[in-house]
Amino acid sequence: MMSQMPQPTALSRCPSCEEPLEAGDRFCGACGYDLSAVPAPPQDHPTITMNGSSPRPSEAAASLDWPHAPEPASSDTPAPVHRAADIRGLDSGGSELPHPDTESAGVQQPGGHPSGAQPSGAQSSGAQPSGVRFDRRPEPDEYPLAPPAGAPAGPVVDPRTADLGASVTPPAGTKLCVACRSGHVDSDGYCENCGHAQPRERDHMEQELGAVAAVSDRGLRHHRNEDAFAISSTALPDGSPAVVAIVCDGVSSATRPDEASLAASRAANEALLAALPLGTHPQQAMHEAILAAAEAVNALAEAPPAHEEHAPHQNAPACTLVGAVVTPTLLIVGWVGDSRAYWVPVDRATPPARLTEDDSWAAQMVAAGLMSEAQAYADERAHAITGWLGADAYELEPHTASFKPDRPGVVVVCTDGLWNYAEAAEEMAEVVPLDAAERPLHSAQVLVGHALDGGGHDNVTVAVVPFPAPPQGAGSA
């Protein structure tokens, strides 16, 4: 079988002078070019590299006449920038590309259409791709806000650009929104303009007197703060000081627990401030204060609810209470429910103590000897209270106790939102700052922060009362 030999490719025009050729010509009839000479194959420069190396630039690219970039006049002047549009070029069909300054900037062309924009249904011509349009309307620098539904006609205040420092006087009895600073807050606590929920006054509260301080926080899980406190100081008949701290925890399963805790704390505080200056023994005064707090909470059951949403689930408001009275020689505590009082001495070498016993299912199990304290408080029924203030309480049994500490310290009065994260007296003493007697407000803030760091599953309220009551604590609050 004969081998196939490569044959010269038939040419239709002379490679030298472009003269048309006829089949079988070995020389060009016009210029005499030797048509049997085989041209050298073109060099192959792939555009995709398989080994990661960059392709070599072609000679045409290497000889491209790039515009000259002059050196800046000084080091502070930036070098001039050349855009791709500054370089004129050709499209794939050999036609010159339109210059952006005249062709693609929307210059009106004969026919009534900007360059690059075709009327509906028209075919694009030349190098202009049919899928690209340059006739989009320019974007505005800013977008006007739509007025809220039902808003009266007039200019709408943009909270992003409004002068927040400008004084806007709301109608009497209303407040301005803390978010948009232009809308008024309705009776439900929401802005009528932007709908933002306003922070409640009781979400976080702090108060400090000379000899006592308290902090209350909503926590991280509850939608409102159902705790309340009251702190004050007064003088006994002999002129010695008496410091008062009352802490209440609303029962969440009851109606209006926040109102119950507030009413109880105020009533108990007022009763103590009325009885102590008259010479009533502090322990007896505490007992009477708890009875006064119970009457205040009971009265709420007779009053109509402030919000209609509670009506289908109406029941008696309820709360717990714990209080302390500190004098120069006596420490009195009183309680109903599971809010607690702890004694933490300044000398941490001396053991701390818990001064109250819970009215709870767990405490009953421990008192009856049916469970150990660890077992009882690990049970899901541990925090079910057996005593509270409210019209539906089975029987009101105020608890009071009197102590005569032989050394200085602080009394920590708190709800279970704190002691859930420091239950034992030793655990509570560990988180109470060493300088609590000198800085009661700072110590209360630290204790609330400890509960929030632990998860903040409940409202947190704590009062810190130094013992003995310092002389500067005298005087009516």
**pLDDT digits over 261-288, tens only?**
999 999 999 999 999 999 999 999 999 9
pLDDT for position 199: 72
Q: What is the pLDDT of residue 124?
A: 41
Is residue 258 within 8 A of residue 339, CB to CB? The reply is no
pLDDT value, residue 5: 41
In whole numbers, what is the pLDDT of the chain averaged over residues? Answer: 77
How many other C-beta atoms are found inside a 10 Å radius of the C-beta of residue 302? Answer: 8
**Taking 80 as the threshold, does the pLDDT of residue 462 lie above it?**
yes
- Residue 462 near residue 342, CB atoms below 8 Å: no
d(CA 114, CA 84): 22
* pLDDT for the residue 395: 87
* Residues above pLDDT 90, as percent of the chain: 49
> Of all helices (H) and strands (E), which one includes residue 403?
strand 399-403
Q: Which contacts of 91-95 are long-range, i.e. CB under 8 A and separated by 24 or more positions?
A: 91/126, 91/127, 92/127, 93/126, 93/127, 95/126, 95/127
Band of residue 409 on the pLDDT scale cut at 50, 70, 90: very high
User: How do residues 309-360 score in pLDDT, each as one tens digit?
Assistant: 445 567 899 999 999 999 999 999 999 999 999 999 999 999 999 999 999 9
Question: Mean pLDDT, to the nearest integer, of 7-33?
Answer: 71
Q: At what angle do helices 282-302 and 257-275 cross, to 10 degrees?
A: 140
Question: What pLDDT score was predicted for residue 305?
Answer: 59
pLDDT value at residue 92: 52
Give the amino acid at 442.
H
Winning range, highest mean pLDDT, from 107-121, 183-197, 369-383: 369-383
**Given this model, what pLDDT does residue 69 score?**
46
Quick check: 135 pLDDT over 50?
Answer: no
Kindly state the average pLDDT of the residues 457-465: 97
3-class DSSP state for residue 246?
Answer: strand
Q: Which residues of 445-476 are buried (b: 16+ CB within 10 A; e: fewer)?
A: bbbbebbbebebbbbbbbbbbbbbbbeebbee
Q: What residues pair up with 403 in beta bridges, in sequence order? A: 331
Pick from 74, 72, 69, 71: which is nearest to 86 by CA?
69
Handedness of CA 393, 271, 403, 226 (dihedral sign): positive
pLDDT in tens, 102-113: 444 444 443 444
Residues 474/233, Cβ–Cβ less than 8 Å: yes
Q: Span 426-443, mean pLDDT?
A: 97
Helix (H/G/I), strand (E/B), else coil: 193: coil
**CA trace torsion 320, 321, 322, 325 (10° rounding):** 180
Q: What is the pLDDT of residue 304?
A: 65
What is residue 438's predicted lDDT score, i.e. its pLDDT?
Answer: 96
Query: Is the Cβ–Cβ distance between 338 and 259 less than 8 Å?
Result: no
Q: What is the pLDDT of residues 211-265, one digit of tens each?
A: 899 999 999 988 899 999 999 999 999 999 999 999 999 999 999 999 999 999 9
Alpha carbon of 19 to those of 16, 27, 29: distances in Å? Answer: 8, 11, 8
Q: Give the pLDDT confidence score for residue 18 in this predicted structure.
A: 76
User: Contact, 318 vs 390, CB < 8 A?
Assistant: yes
Distance CA 253, CA 433 (A): 34
Looking at per-residue pLDDT, the higher value among 369 and 201 belongs to 369
Average pLDDT over residues 446-473: 92
How many helices and strands (H and E) does the chain possess? Answer: 8, 12
Buried b (16+ CB within 10 A) or exposed e, 210-232: bbbbbbbbbbeebebbbbbbbbb
pLDDT in tens, 249-260: 999 999 999 999
Mean pLDDT across 172-193: 79
Burial 162-190 (b: 16+ CB within 10 A, else e): eeeeeeeeeeeeeebbeebbbbebeeeee
| CA–CA distance, 9 with 243 (Å, rounded to integer) | 115
Q: How far apart are CA 127 and CA 241, in angstroms?
A: 96
- So what's the pLDDT on residue 430? 98
Spell out where 47-156 has E strands: none
Confidence of residue 61 (pLDDT cuts 50, 70, 90): very low
Beta strands in 159-264 (DSSP E): 204-209, 212-217, 227-235, 241-250
Whole-number CA gyration radius for the chain: 44
pLDDT of residue 255: 93
